[in-house]
Amino acid sequence: MSEPTAIEILVQDPWFLVVHKPVDLLTQAIETLPSLQSRLADQLSAPGLPKPFIGMPHRLDRMTSGTVVVARNQRSLRRLCDQFATRTVVKEYLAWVSGLVPKEGAWVDTMRKVPDEPRAEIASIDQVHARDATLEYRVIQQRTNSHNQPESLLLIRLGTGRMHQIRLQCGSRGFPILGDRLYGSQNTWGPEGQTYREPPIALHAYRLTFHHPKSAEKIAALALPPPNFPWGNPSDLSLATRD
């Protein structure tokens, strides 16, 4: 069995790392399953020394690639978790969706996790566990696929971080993320001839902005989407920034 590809480290600091999580990898898992956390612990281990501390203040779904900040000590983990809890971390995603989406906008919904099921749904405010969900987006590219169907590439800035939030808010408006059959997509996504544990979807955690857990310096890190997926021109994607 071949060795797994090394995890790309985008920013390296004594207090934290920012890494590029690949597709088809859990962020955290039990010891018997591969995960970003265990892969990094192995990758950064030194012979004869205990494995390094790898703390995960947030997660990405298995089939979502992109930027993840990793704590390197307990104090850093606590302070980074506080930033996510108070929504001071700016999380920006790229998503290819079906349809022609209006140029820009803000989406506000009430949603909840469906009890005993691994999916979310739009809910009324009085339903149990219903919570607000907000995001802003703008269209940065549009194209027509091989079936003459329009597709839009969105740059999304999350206001909240609910389970499957982007997937549900896009799908419920008739703009499902490509490959996301759970929320209405009829299109496949990703390179042909490659097998995955779950079908890939066109969602990528593009940029993460937070404050250094010790100095409070503003840190911004971005990762371009995987080159073997049909994201478009990387030089165009690198301009998809916003203040």
**Distances 241 to 40, 167, 224, 234 between C-alpha atoms, Å:** 28, 21, 12, 13
Residue found under tokens 């919904």: 109
Distance CA 7, CA 22 (A): 8
User: Coil, strand or helix: which one is 235?
Assistant: helix
Distance CA 103, CA 98 (A): 14
Q: Catalytic one among 13, 24, 42, 61?
A: 61
Q: Write down how long the chain is.
A: 243
61 is catalytic: yes
Positions annotated as catalytic residues are 61
